[in-house]
Structure 1
Amino acid sequence: MWDIRDIITNIGILDIIDITIVAYAFYKLYTLIKETRAEQLVKGIIVLLVATKASELLQLHVINWILINTMTVGLIALLIVFQPELRRALEYIGRTKFIIRSNTDFENENIDKSIEEIVEALYSLSRQKIGALIVIERETGLNDIIQTGTILEAKITRQLLINIFIPNTPLHDGAIVIKDSKIKAAGCFLPLTENKNLNKELGTRHRAGIGISEKSDCISLMVSEENGYISMAKNGKLYRNITKEYIKDLLTKILKQESENKGIFKKGGLFK
């Protein structure tokens, strides 16, 4: 008890800063792996650590030897198994920039107009039960995805968005990528999700929308050609049959927050 009191009384400002940084780092790490397969793997690692210590205390030498060697080899295996999560963490760090933005009012007006055009196009396609897939780039670059399609560099309008997805037109089969307040490309190919727990009724369009959201921080918007439902994928999670008001408010909140987030650590947004 005296040792704990002695430690507390000798804590300085730098120690508090040190503890705060470590706590924040662990919190961000938890948010990155939350509700992903990595969360279950972390639980498994904790069980192995407890089992290793227990086998040592109980003098179960064979089991202890096996567990220790498993943990040693497992460090290399973890780099392979956690590759998607490690990539996401490094991309998160890499997205932090020292940039001060200006002309915020103009940017917000641009965002409002673009969101209005996207949402109106989605619900027009929904009424007609025309399948569609729109990917909105945020901070993680999608140039590799853009290069798989046809470059357009076009202004965002509901008429163009609708026309692209009309069946039997050259660019209807694939995804549209929106970047820098423009329709960058159409007919793009996306990676499919490897999540095996998804509803079997979901088709390739939804699996592609989820797949790209797992590998970047983009927002994917899908229209089902079977029932006209509009869905959204973000951070590997699928939100189905969402309302017009919900999607408009959510896009406005996310994209404006990125645009208006001023400070030392400034993040680039969708409409740069």
Structure 2
Amino acid sequence: MEFIKGLFINLRLKDIVDIFIVAMAFYKLFKLIRETRAEQLTKGIIALFVFTKVSDWLQLYTVHWILDKTMTVGILALIIVFQPELRRALEYIGRSNFFTKSFIEIKDESLSQLVEEIVEAVASLSRQKIGALIVIERTTGLSEVIETGTRIDGKVSSDLLINIFIPNTPLHDGAVIVKEDIIKAAGCFLPLTENTSLSKDLGTRHRAALGISEKSDSLSIIVSEETGAISIAENGSLARYLDTKTLRQILMDMYKPKDQKSTFIAKWRRKDGQREK
């Protein structure tokens, strides 16, 4: 008790700040590795560290020597094994507001028209049960993804979007990339998510939408070919079974200037958490 009391007496403001920064760093790290291969690997590393300390305490010299050398060499192995997760962490830091430019701000008249064109196209595709995947670029550039498809560079319109996804056409089986109010490319290939805990009824479009949302701050709109259900993917999470009114609100909120953004998406997700997978 005296030791604990001494800790609180000698606690300084900079110590509290130090603890807070470390706690936030561990929290962010946990969010990055959650439901990925890194989560299981991290558990293995912790177990190995515990066994090393226990072998030292029990004076199991040979076992301790092997485990200690394994931990030493393991630092280099970690860099190789965790390469995808490290890249993801660096991309996450690079996407922070301190390093990125502001997302495009569109005037109210053009904004309303742009959102209506997208919503009208998605609603039509949903009614006809035509599969679609629309990725809206934000602050993270998607030039590498755009290069995998066919360049269009046409203004966003519902007719153009619908025609792209009509079955048996050259560009229907891929993603459309939208930047600001321009359709940059169609028929693009996206990376699939590494999340292994997804529902089995999710197809390639949903997994691709989640994959690109894990690697960028883009927002993806998915229309299911089987059910016509509308979903969105953002920041590695999926919200399913949206109606057009909800989609319109999300898009309007996304394109608004930063100081006018509401927390509508977060509120909707908390209210309908069962829809997220």
Name the residue aligned to 1:28: 28
Instruction: Quote the residue 1:183 is aligned against.
Output: 183
1:267 alignment partner in structure 2: none
Q: Is the 8 A contact 1:174 1:187 kept in 2?
A: yes
Q: Structure 1 201/19 Cα, relative in aligned 2: closer, same or farther at 3 Å?
A: closer
* Structure 2 unaligned blocks of 5 or more: 262-277
Match of residue 152 from structure 2: 152
Instruction: Tell me: CA distance 1:221–1:80, structure 2 relative to 1, closer, same or farther (3 Å).
Output: farther
Structure 2 partner of 1:50: 50
Distance (whole Å) between structure 1 residues aligned to residue 107 and residue 76 of structure 2: 46
- Return the offset for 1:110: 4.6
Residues 196/92 of structure 1: CA separation in 2 closer, same or farther (3 Å cut)? closer
Distance 1:109 1:81 in 2: 50
Determine the structure 2 residue equivalent to 1:68.
68
CA change 1:255–1:61 in 2 (3 A) is farther
Matches within 5 A, 1:12-161: 12-95=12-95, 96-97=97-98, 106-107=106-107, 110-161=110-161
Q: Number of residues paired by the alignment?
A: 260
**Equivalent AA in structure 2 for residue 34 of structure 1:** R
Structure 1's 98 and 199: CA in aligned 2 closer, same or farther, altered over 3 A?
A: closer
**How big is the alpha-carbon RMSD for the aligned residues of Structure 1 and Structure 2?**
3.0
Question: 1:177 Cα deviation (Å)?
Answer: 0.5
Task: Give the distance between the partners of 2:84 and 2:125, measured in 1 at CA.
Answer: 33
Change in 2 beyond 3 A, CA 1:205/1:190? same
Q: Distance in 2 between matches of 1:222 and 1:163?
A: 16
CA distance in 1, matches of 2:35, 2:257: 24
* Larger deviation, residues 244-253 vs 94-103: 94-103
- Structure 1: segments with no counterpart, 5+ residues: 262-272
Over 3 Å counting, the alpha-carbon distance change for 1:196 and 1:34 in structure 2 is closer
Asked whether the equivalents of residues 136 and 219 of structure 2 are also in contact (C-alpha less than 8 Å), the reply is yes
- Length-normalised TM-score, structure 2: 0.79
Measure, in 2, the Cα distance between the counterparts of 1:191 and 1:141: 15
Aligned sequence identity (%)? 59
Distance 1:88 1:252, change over 3 A: farther
For the Cα contact (< 8 Å) 1:115–1:251, is it kept in 2?
Answer: yes
SS of residue paired to 1:241: strand
| TM-aligned CA deviation for residue 185 of structure 1 | 1.0
1:255 and 1:84, CA in 2 relative to 1: closer, same or farther beyond 3 A? farther
Q: Which residue type is aligned with residue 233 of structure 1? A: A
Q: CA 1:174–1:256 in 2, change beyond 3 Å: closer, same or farther?
A: same
Instruction: Spell out, residue by residue over 1:50-95, the C-alpha distance to the aligned partner (whole angstroms, 9 max, x if none).
Output: 2221121122233323322222232222222322221222112222
**What TM-score do you get using the length of structure 1 for normalisation?**
0.80
Residue 100 of structure 1 and its aligned partner are, at CA, apart by 8.4
Match of 1:170? 170
Deviates more, 1:6-15 or 1:47-56: 6-15
Greater relative contact order (CA < 8 Å, ≥ 6 in sequence):
1
Counterpart CA distance in 1 for 2:16 and 2:84 is 32
Q: Give the deviation of 1:15 after TM superposition.
A: 3.6
Asked if the contact 1:130–1:167 (Cα under 8 Å) also holds between the matched residues in 2, the reply is yes
For residue 134 of structure 2, give the secondary structure of its aligned residue in structure 1.
strand
Work out the CA distance in 1 between the residues paired with 2:43 and 2:111. Answer: 41
Secondary structure in structure 1 of the residue aligned to 2:116 = helix
Larger mean Cα displacement after TM superposition, 196-205 or 63-72 = 196-205
Q: Supply the distance in 2 between the matched residues of 1:168 and 1:19 (Cα, whole angstroms).
A: 58
| AA matched with 1:97 | F
Instruction: Give, in whole Å, the separation in 1 of the partners of 2:23 and 2:159.
Output: 49
Tell me if the contact between 1:125 and 1:132 (Cα under 8 Å) persists in the aligned partners. Answer: yes
- Describe the superposition over 1:201-236 as per-residue Cα deviations: whole angstroms up to 9, x where unpaired: 443333322322232232222212222122333333
Q: 2:36·2:195 contact (CA, 8 Å) conserved in 1?
A: no
> Given the superposition, is the C-alpha separation of residues 227 and 18 from structure 1 closer, same or farther in structure 2, using an over 3 Å criterion?
same
Amino acid at match of 1:69: K
**Is 1:193 the counterpart of 2:193 in the alignment?**
yes
